[in-house]
Structure 1
Amino acid sequence: MPALFSRRLHRSDYLLTAAYWSLAVLVILPTYVREDGWARALGAMFYNVVLDTGTVLALVFGLLPRFMQRGRLGSSLLLALAAAGLSGVLYLVGYDVVLGKYHGAWSLTYLIGGIIAHARSYGILAVLLIGKRYFEGQQHLLLAQKAQAESELKSLRAQVDPHFLFNNLNILYALIQQNQEEASHFLSCFSSLYRYLIRHKDADLVPLEEELRFANEYIYLLGHRFGTAYQFERTSLPAPAELAGLFVVPGTLQVLLENVVKHNRGDEDNPLLVTLAVRPDALVVRHRRAPKRTAVESMGTGLSNLRERYRLLAGREPEVQADEFFTVTVPVLKM
Structure 2
Amino acid sequence: MRFQRPSKSDFAAIVVYWLFAIPVVMSAYVYESGWARAWVGMGYTLVLDTAAVLCLVFLILPNALSGKHWRGAVVALLVFLLASSVLYREGYGVIFGKPTTWTLIGLVAGILRHAVSYGLLGIFLTVKRYFEMQKRLVLIQKAQAESELRNLRAQLDPHFLFNNLNVLRGLIQQDPAAANEYLDRFASLYRFLIRHKDEDFVSLAEELQLVDEYLYLLRHRFGCAYEFRRELPVNIDMSRLLVVPGTLQLLLENAIKHNAGNEENPLIVLINISETVLTVWHARRPKLTAVESLGTGLANLRERYRLLFSRDIEVVDTAESFSVSVPLLRQAQRWSAA
TM over 0.5: yes
Whether the 8 Å CA contact 1:238–1:278 is kept in 2: the answer is no
Number of the residue aligned with 2:27? 30
Aligned-residue CA RMSD in angstroms?
Answer: 3.1
Which amino acid is 1:281 matched to? T
What is the deviation of 1:248? Answer: 2.5
- 214-223 or 127-136, which moves further after superposition? 214-223
> What is the deviation of 1:123?
1.4
Q: Hey, what does 1:274 align to over in structure 2? A: 269
CA distance in structure 2 between the partners assigned to 1:20 and 1:58 by the alignment: 17
1:44 is aligned to 2:41: yes
Q: Percent identity?
A: 52
**Does 2:160 match 1:154?**
no
Q: Does 1:332 align with 2:312?
A: no
Shift of the 178–116 alpha-carbon distance from structure 1 to 2, 3 Å rule, reads farther
SS of residue matched to 1:234? strand
Residue identity opposite 1:257 in structure 2: L
- Aligned match of 1:292 in 283, 287, 291? 287
AA of the residue aligned to 1:15: A
Query: Following the alignment from structure 2 to structure 1, what is the Cα–Cα distance between the partners of residues 235 and 280?
Result: 19
SS at match of 1:292: coil
Distance 1:69 1:268 in 2: 55
- Output the CA distance in 2 between the equivalents of 1:290 and 1:160: 28
Give matches, 1:64-143, under 5 Å: 64-66=61-63, 71-81=68-78, 83-101=80-98, 103-105=100-102, 115-143=111-139
Unaligned runs of 5+ in 2: none
Query: Alpha carbons of 1:175 and 1:320: their partners in 2 closer, same or farther (altered >3 Å)?
Result: same
1:320 to 315, 326, 334: 315
1:303 aligns with 2:298: yes
Contact 1:317–1:330 (8 Å) recurs in 2 = yes
Q: Distance in 1 between matches of 2:205 and 2:74?
A: 30
Whole-angstrom CA distance in 2 between matches of 1:117 and 1:17: 21
The alpha-carbon deviation at position 59 of structure 1 amounts to 3.3
Higher relative contact order (CA 8 A, sep 6+): 1
Residue of structure 1 aligned with 2:199, choices 188, 203, 207: 203
TM-score normalized by the length of structure 2: 0.83
Report the number of matched residues.
328
How many Å apart are 1:263 and its aligned residue? Answer: 0.5
What residue number does 1:58 align with?
A: 55
Query: 1:303 Cα deviation (Å)?
Result: 0.5
Matched, 1:9 2:4: no
Shift of 1:322: 0.6
Which amino acid is 1:213 matched to? Answer: Q
Change (3 A) 1:277 1:330: same
The change in CA–CA distance for 1:116 and 1:229 in structure 2 (over 3 A counts) is: farther
Q: Could you say if the C-alpha distance between residues 65 and 319 of structure 1 is closer, same or farther in structure 2, counting changes exceeding 3 Å?
A: farther
Question: 2 CA distance for matches of 1:295 and 1:9?
Answer: 43
TM-score normalised by L of structure 1:
0.83
Relative distance call for 1:256 and 1:122 in structure 2 (3 A) is same
Q: Which moved more, 1:22-31 or 1:309-318?
A: 309-318
For 1:258, which of 239, 253, 256 is the aligned residue? Answer: 253
Q: Call closer, same or farther: CA 1:8–1:155 in 2, change over 3 Å.
A: farther
Q: Which runs of 5+ in 1 are unaligned?
A: none
Q: Does 1:224 align with 2:220?
A: yes
